[in-house]
Amino acid sequence: MADRYLRFTGTAPGRFLTRRLGLPRPAPLRRWSPERPALDGGLLHLTAGASRLALAPVLARTGLPADETAGRPAAVVLDATGVRTVEDLDGVHAALHPVVRSVAESGRIVVLGAPLDPGDHHQAAAQQALEGFTRSLGKETGGGRTVNLVRLTDAPAAESTLRFLLSPKSAYVSGQVIAVGDQASPAPEDADRPLTGRTALVTGAARGIGEAVAATLARDGADVVVLDVPQAEQDARRVAERIGGSVLLLDMTAADAGARIADALPGGLDVLVHNAGITRDRRLVNMPKDRWSPVLDVNLGRVLRTTDALLEAGALRRDGRIVATASIAGIAGNAGQTNYGASKAGVTGFVRALAPRALAEHGVTVNAVAPGFIETKMTAAVPLFIREAGRRMNSLAQGGLPVDVAETTAWFAHPGSGAVNGQVVRVCGQSLLGA
């Protein structure tokens, strides 16, 4: 459903009224397209504290030219990994205060921090302060700009993450804190189609967010298997035909779902995307068991069972990727969704517990996307005032699109994202809920 308010605020009367009444003023977001794959403008690289990162070669590969003039940069990267004291935080202010207003609309600000040192409470305090700073700045910038914090120790290992955050693909990702390890991954031969030669399976891919994920992975070169229930066969085949993929019709709640997937993919699987999910909303006092159990089983139980079965069967190849779909409902809670919120919080627990073991034992990373208000047929059916509140209650003052979730999934699936593990990244425009 079209966001008429967003369109109205782009008109002269809309701009006048929103200024006078103090209403939200969302800016149209720059998303990726083949015609405009990069942000328009240069990249300004700043430093606070004594950094030892060799960032210049990595930033040069983002596709944004260096901008040393601070005229109208498309992106600003502040290296604050050397911040160790409260006094060092003055350098964060000194670096960004003069330039933050000049960042172009739909621009990017990325703050780089270091992991918290448990043996140095001064360093830990100063680095933790960067989280509050980043999230607060994200709520101030406006104009479709995003602000994120990346904690890292090795610049090359963070290349895929920086390329994502400094591109139009991250249009609806803001206010996030992402930890990147030091496990460097080889760069793909084709930067434009990094998943070439890889097989990806997307559950619930016949429509909505799953369809967008399947299309985006196919765009990046993957051979995509469109998995959905037999009742969705017509839509699944339509999607597969459009993206050049194949179809697997399967009820994921079946006890042997994992084994059947492994049998259908004898050559193995590189990317597993757990997207399928259901809702059965009702307040707990009015929720019978037949509305509770299916949501927990589909959204969480089948994720656990299928993943276990595929890992045990060796169906996921080394350097593989598992991406699950969580939700801000599992982070902030939502009235009428105790079942859904529980299931999606469970996905977060699954990711954080399995990630280190899956990487150590199978060479596979495990991450999750947590969508906020995304414009789908489901949200289009929400009553008008609730829908408008959902759209406006984030720093970008608008709903996201299925492609925003898909682009974040594609970043997790990237061969160069081997150092990104155990992360739950909200795709919510920095929702004011659960922030």
Domain ranges for the chain: 31-179, 199-427
Q: Is the pLDDT at 95 greater than 70, yes or no? A: yes
Cβ neighbourhood burial of 131 (10 Å; 0-12, 13-18, 19+)? middle
Helices in 99-243 by DSSP H: which ranges?
A: 121-138, 159-165, 208-219, 233-243
Cβ density class 46-74: b for 16+ within 10 Å, e for less: bbbbebebebeebbeebebeebeeeebbb
| DSSP reduced 3-state for 129 | helix
pLDDT tens, position by position, 183-202 = 878 888 898 999 999 999 99
Residue-level pLDDT at 9 = 83
Q: Is the pLDDT of residue 435 over 70?
A: no
CB burial of 214-237 (b: ≥16 within 10 Å; e: otherwise) equals bbbbbbbbbbbbbbbbeebeebbb
% of the chain at pLDDT higher than 90: 83
Domain 31-179 shares a fold with domain 199-427: yes
Lowest mean pLDDT among 158-162, 168-172, 182-186, 390-394: 182-186
For 31-179, which CATH class? alpha beta
pLDDT digits 0-9 by tens, 318-359: 999 999 999 999 999 989 999 999 999 999 999 999 999 999
Sign of the C-alpha dihedral computed for residues 61, 65, 68 and 73 taken in this order: negative
Task: Say yes or no to pLDDT of 69 above 70.
Answer: no
Q: Which residues contact 169 (CB under 8 A, 6 or more apart)?
A: 31, 32, 407, 410, 411
Of 70-84, 136-150, 353-367, which range is least confident?
A: 70-84
Given a contact cutoff of 8 angstroms between Cβ atoms, the answer to whether 35 and 19 are in contact is no
Question: pLDDT band at 1, cuts 50/70/90?
Answer: low
Which of 32, 340, 373, 412 is catalytic? The answer is 340
Return d(Cα 58, Cα 194) in angstroms, integer: 17
DSSP label at residue 308? H
pLDDT for the residue numbered 8: 78
pLDDT of residue 70: 57
pLDDT at 290 > cutoff 80: yes
Per-residue confidence band for 266, with pLDDT thresholds at 50, 70 and 90? very high
Question: Between 3 and 132, where is the model more confident?
Answer: 132
Q: Could you count the other beta carbons within 10 Å of the beta carbon of residue 289? A: 7
| 3-state SS assignment for residue 17 | helix
Q: How would CATH label the architecture of 199-427?
A: 3-Layer(aba) Sandwich (3.40)
**Helix runs in 22-61, H state only:** 56-60
Q: Specify the DSSP class assigned to residue 178.
A: E
pLDDT averaged over the chain? 94
Examine the residue annotation and report whether 340 is marked as an active-site residue of this protein.
Answer: yes
| Residue 13: predicted pLDDT | 83
Judged by average pLDDT, the poorest of 5-14, 264-273, 295-304, 391-400 is: 5-14
